[in-house]
């Protein structure tokens, strides 16, 4: 929300004031501990005045810059809001047409080995393209201009002979955790793939609900119900499992096909599977538009957020409270500034 711009400004102004006060105190302590014989004492006084002046000027510059970045952030969010409404109106017609075109192309991309390799090549090239031009936004984050961006998500729950492999209410809890983590740590709004889904930075986050969830209407094949990760998972993506996943997300997340083709704001598709060898979630990083999570894993609520982080270019790190810690834990909710910049620079995470 736009209040994030204001909140960041308030926090930075407090830091400016703390820096100023600590500086004044250090100047005073230095003056009192200095020599007390003339002319050394005069020299100490003069230097202490320069010390105070330095911290005063630094505070003025710090506060002024904070106001500038806050205003720029707010103005940019107003511009994004207006442009997003226009794009949303246009995409109602154009987006559907492009989605049909992409649906045809996805059939080609679903061909085992050759089609899957072509899709991976297209994904890598476009990801590099968008990340290069996203460096401006990354620089803006570093200097304190941090407007809201968006990440679209489509969750597909597979079905076996017993029915859906997961309770949708449990999956919605994980999506809600992802909404909260991405907002708090990177000022990214997580939204479902749907028509007329215009949002503004001035509205509250939409809570996770059934609009994120799609349940397949027929029994899925075993090679997509029971999957692997790592090298074995990569080989499965090149073969029939990857083909099946590609067809499923093209059909069930149809409104995301246009963005998937253009690779701008393409949704992260989450497949909820029956089982996974040695893991509860998996992502092939930027090589695929989808991640997989185990439907029967109900303890850790951060799995979808963690795997989505991988899909947006993040890798494992060691702090146990970091989102990208490699062991399941509900404590995984933090991102470093570098991770936030990297995450926001993904082609999945966009302004429009």
- Listed in sequence order, the residues at least 6 apart from 36 whose beta carbon sits closer than 8 Å to its beta carbon are none
- Listed in sequence order, the residues at least 6 apart from 188 whose beta carbon sits closer than 8 Å to its beta carbon are 148, 149, 150, 151, 182, 343, 344, 349
Please give the pLDDT value at position 94.
Answer: 65
Residue 292: how many CB atoms within 10 A of its CB? 29
The residue ranking higher by pLDDT, 329 or 201, is 329
In tens, the pLDDT along 49-99 reads: 788 788 788 888 888 888 888 888 778 777 877 777 776 666 666 666 777
The alpha carbon dihedral of 128, 133, 134, 139 has a sign of positive
Record the pTM.
0.81
* Tokens encoding 341: 């910049």
Dist. CA 186–CA 68, nearest whole Å: 20
Q: Strand 159-160 vs strand 163-164: parallel, antiparallel, or unpaired? A: antiparallel
Q: What is the mean pLDDT of residues 182-201?
A: 83
Q: Which CATH homologous superfamily contains domain 99-350? A: Collagenase (Catalytic Domain) (3.40.390.10)
In tens, the pLDDT along 275-307 reads: 999 899 999 999 999 999 999 877 899 999 999
With contact defined as beta carbons under 8 Å apart, do 269 and 289 qualify?
A: yes
Q: What is the mean pLDDT of residues 142-166?
A: 93
DSSP 331: T
Locate tokens 């409104």: which residue?
Answer: 255
* Tokens encoding 71: 């205003």
Rounded to the nearest integer, the mean pLDDT of the chain is 87
Residue 108: how many CB atoms within 10 A of its CB? 12
Please give the pLDDT value at position 48.
Answer: 79
């Amino acid at each position: 929300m736009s209040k994030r711009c204001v909140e960041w400004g308030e926090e930075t102004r407090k830091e400016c004031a703390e820096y100023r006060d600590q500086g004044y105190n250090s100047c005073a302590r230095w003056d009192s501990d200095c020599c007390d014989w003339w002319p050394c004492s005069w020299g100490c006084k003069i230097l202490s005045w320069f010390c105070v002046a330095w911290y005063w000027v630094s505070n003025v510059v710090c506060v002024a810059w904070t106001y500038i970045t806050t205003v720029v952030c707010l103005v940019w969010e107003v511009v994004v809001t207006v442009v997003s409404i226009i794009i949303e109106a246009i995409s109602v017609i154009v987006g559907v047409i492009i989605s049909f075109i992409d649906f045809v192309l996805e059939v080609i991309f679903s061909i085992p080995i050759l089609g899957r390799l072509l899709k991976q090549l297209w994904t890598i090239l476009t990801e590099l393209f968008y990340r290069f031009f996203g460096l401006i936004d990354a620089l803006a984050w570093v200097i304190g201009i941090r407007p809201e961006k968006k990440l679209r998500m489509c969750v597909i729950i597979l079905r076996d002979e017993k029915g859906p492999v997961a309770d949708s209410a449990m999956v919605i809890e994980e999506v809600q955790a992802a909404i909260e983590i991405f907002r708090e740590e990177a000022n990214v709004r997580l939204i479902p793939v749907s028509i007329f889904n215009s949002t503004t930075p001035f509205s509250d986050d939409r809570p996770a609900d059934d609009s994120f969830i799609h349940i397949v209407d027929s029994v899925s094949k075993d090679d997509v119900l029971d999957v692997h990760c790592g090298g074995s998972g990569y080989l499965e993506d090149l073969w029939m499992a990857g083909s099946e996943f590609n067809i499923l997300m093209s059909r069930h997340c149809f409104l995301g096909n246009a963005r998937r083709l253009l690779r701008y704001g393409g949704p992260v598709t989450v497949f909820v599977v029956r089982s996974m060898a040695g893991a509860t979630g998996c992502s092939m990083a930027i090589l695929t538009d989808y991640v997989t999570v185990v439907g029967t894993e109900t303890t850790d609520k951060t799995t979808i957020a963690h795997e989505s982080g991988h899909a947006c270019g993040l890798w494992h790190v060691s702090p146990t409270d970091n989102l990208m810690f490699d062991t399941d834990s509900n404590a995984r909710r933090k991102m470093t500034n570098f991770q936030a910049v990297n995450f926001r620079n993904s082609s999945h995470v966009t302004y429009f």
